[in-house]
Amino acid sequence: MGREAEGKTLVLVAVEGDTKKKLGRVRFRCVAAIDRDTVESFVFIRIKYNQFQERALKFFSELEPS
């Protein structure tokens, strides 16, 4: 895969953001191979984590101070 790819580290990259706004977080994962299962799991984990984080932030922001 690619020129002189042997011996190099494969990295998946995910970038949050909107095309009309600044880019957000950048996530990296070193992988042994680029295949469908690897890419899908990386994307799924990033999306699920971000959804959980957004719900948690909303929940805690709605709590009244004691």
Whether 1 is covered by a domain: the verdict is no
Between β-strands 23-31 and 10-17, what pairing exists: parallel, antiparallel or unpaired?
antiparallel
Could you give the residue ranges of the DSSP H alpha helices within the chain? 36-62
Q: Is 4 left (phi over 0), alpha (psi -120 to 50) or beta?
A: left
pTM of the model: 0.57
Give the pLDDT band (50/70/90) at residue 34: confident
Number of domains in the chain: 1
Give the pLDDT band (50/70/90) at residue 66: low
Q: Which amino acid is at 15?
A: V
Residue 33 pLDDT exceeds 80:
yes
What's the farthest any 2 CA atoms get from each other in the chain?
Answer: 60
Residue 57 pLDDT exceeds 70:
yes
Residue 46: CB partners within 8 Å, gap ≥ 6?
A: 14, 27
Whether 36 is covered by a domain: the verdict is yes
Dig out the tokens for 62 from the structure. Answer: 């709605």
Whether 34 is covered by a domain: the verdict is yes
Whether 43 is covered by a domain: the verdict is yes
Whether 4 is covered by a domain: the verdict is no
Domain that holds residue 41: 10-62
